Each structure stands twice: as structure tokens, then as C-alpha cells.
Amino acid sequence: MPPPALSLVDVRARYGGRVAVDGLSLEVRRGEVVGLVGPNGSGKSTTLAVAAGVHDPAGGTVAVEGVTRAADPAGFARRVGFVPQGGGLYDELTAADNLTYFGRLYGLGGHDLRRRVVRVLARVGLTDRAGHRVSTFSGGMRQRLNLAAALTHDPPVLLLDEPTAALDPAGRDALFADLTRLRDDGHAVLFSTHHLDEADAGCDRVAVLDGGRLVACGPPGEVLRRGAGRAVLYGHLRARPPKFLQRALRRRLGPGVELEVTGRRLRLGAATAADLGAALAAVLAEGLELDTYRTPAGTLGRGAEDPV
């Protein structure tokens, strides 16, 4: 059997003086989409940065198709496409010029590079915007171009850090359609999110991080059922609350309740249904208005202790 497309074995990493990844082992194979799930601060971004070779681990091994960065830095880099949070596009350049620039970083040039630029623009549906400056792009278009930039050198492994951040529902649907096509074409995809409903909808497997440790891994439905002990609510706010109000609400809710707000999306997590009800009441008491909210049949929460 060939080696996995991406392999992390007992990886440990520090970020900002603290342990961000603590003994993480995970594999992703070609033709598979894996969602890296966890609350803010759980180690998702550091894990992806280590996997991409842009953050040095304190221990453990990362290999792409059996190749480590220590043994073959250039070969490792050619096998990975990485989209960090916010991407790395240049607003003053056109879409095609951005892709040309990133392709040259990987040693591509001439007719081959021009052909690849045309192909990846078509793949993400941006052919008609090839000559437009990125500064004119919407959030969804920018994310699709970020994906195209990661695909220009045709790597087997794609790593995306919070790719749905700032996307509207249509943009998220389009992104997951792109990831499905990449999986079907044989790529290995690992992306991070703290929205469990996204992982449930778009992944073959879910890997749950908490405090830098892998606490659950498996098919989304299975992992959701195993983690059903923690109460979670997803909501859509009528307006995005200001930062100061979010900070005040977190202080009021206390350390036992998770509050995450991304744009107009809200996630509440608590140890019990009663605690979740009290948290929802506190949110409404602060004047935050919800258009809709729901509690999934199964939820993942911090502190899941299922074996991997």
C-alpha cells in the first residue's frame, strides 16, 4: 500500500510560548476530505502550518507521500498547496498575474505555467475575471482564487485554514463543491473550521482537536454521536454584534460556556442543556436578536474523551 498523502506522527509544536500541538498523529489519504475541528485556540492553525512546512515542529514527523521536509525541502514543498487564513493574494495584481507569481515560486514558467493558470482559473470558475484586479473581487471570489493559487503547481495535498471565514452561504456551498471535486480527482484535503455543521456536511472524516490534542477522529456522523454529551446551539443573528458587546457577554457567560461569533453566525456550547438554555437567555437579554437557531441531533464539544 502506498504511503498516505499526508502523515503527522506524534507532532508537537509551540506557538507564542505555549504548547499549541501536543502529540498529534493523523493521516489523510488521496481521495479524502478531512475536517480539522475545534474551538479557537485548539491548535488547528498551528497544525496546518506545521503540515505545510511553514512552522517548525518541536517534535514528531510530518511527511507528504513519504517525503519529509528535512530530507527533501523542495520535494516536500511541491507536494503541498497551502491556503492560510486570509490567503496571500496581491490586490494590485490581476487574478492571472497572481497565479503566475505563485507558479514561478515553484519553479514553473513558460508555456507550462500559462497553461496551468488557464486551467486552474477555469477550475474555480474565474476565467472571465482573469484580467481583473483582485481588489475588485468579492470575498467568495478571493477565496476561490486562493484555492487556485494553491493548485497552480498541482500538489497532491491541499491544506486550508478556515477557508469559509467571511463567506456567505452561497460562497460556502461553492467552496465545498470545489473540495468535493478535488477529492474525486484524487487530492487529499485537510481544512480547519470551528463550525461543526460545516465539517458534518463537507468531510469524509472529522478530526477533533482540544488543547492541541486529537480527542476524536472518524466519519462525521459517528464522531457527532460519540460527542453528543455536550449541548451546542447554532444561530443566525439579525446583526453582527460589536466586539465590546461580545467581550462583555463572554464575561457574563463565564468559563463554562463557549461563545463564538463569526459575522452573523453564532455558536453556543455548554455542559448541559440547562446551561445552554441559560446561556441563550443571557444572549437574548443583552439585546442580540436571532433570526434562526437550532441544536443538532449530535454535537461535538470540548472535552470529548473518545479514543482515536
Yes or no: say if 51 and 190 are a contact pair by the CB < 8 Å rule: yes
Supply the pLDDT for residue 285.
86
Domain 6-225 has CATH 3.20.20.140: no
**Residue 43 Ramachandran class (φ > 0 left, ψ -120 to 50 alpha, else beta):** left
Burial label, 7 (beta-carbon count in 10 A; 0-12, 13-18, 19+): buried
Q: Following CA atoms 97, 33, 296, 294 in sequence, which dihedral angle do they give, to the nearest 10 degrees?
A: 10
Yes or no: say if 258 and 270 are a contact pair by the CB < 8 Å rule: yes
**Residue 3 Ramachandran class (φ > 0 left, ψ -120 to 50 alpha, else beta):** beta
Q: 266-277 burial, b for 16+ CB within 10 Å, e for fewer?
A: bbbbbeeeebbe
Q: Which CATH fold topology does 229-294 show?
A: Alpha-Beta Plaits (3.30.70)
Yes or no: say if 5 and 190 are a contact pair by the CB < 8 Å rule: no
Supply the pLDDT for residue 115.
96
| All structural domains of the chain with their residue ranges | 6-225, 229-294
CA distance 252 to 93: 46
Supply the pLDDT for residue 182.
93
Supply the pLDDT for residue 297.
44
Yes or no: say if 180 and 197 are a contact pair by the CB < 8 Å rule: no
Supply the pLDDT for residue 302.
35
Supply the pLDDT for residue 225.
62
Q: Does the predicted TM-score (pTM) go above 0.85?
A: no
Nearest CA to 35 out of 183, 263, 205 is that of 205
Give the pLDDT of the chain (308 residues) as one tens digit per residue: 678 999 999 999 998 888 999 999 999 999 999 999 887 778 999 999 999 999 999 999 999 999 999 999 999 999 999 999 888 899 999 999 999 999 999 999 999 999 999 999 999 999 999 999 999 999 889 999 999 999 999 999 999 999 887 777 788 888 888 899 999 999 999 999 877 667 777 789 999 887 888 888 888 877 766 654 467 787 888 888 888 888 888 888 877 788 888 888 888 888 777 788 888 888 888 888 887 776 654 443 333 332 22
CA distance 197 to 191: 14
C-alpha cell read off for 47: 497544525
- pLDDT tens digits along 188-217: 999 998 776 677 777 899 998 878 888 888
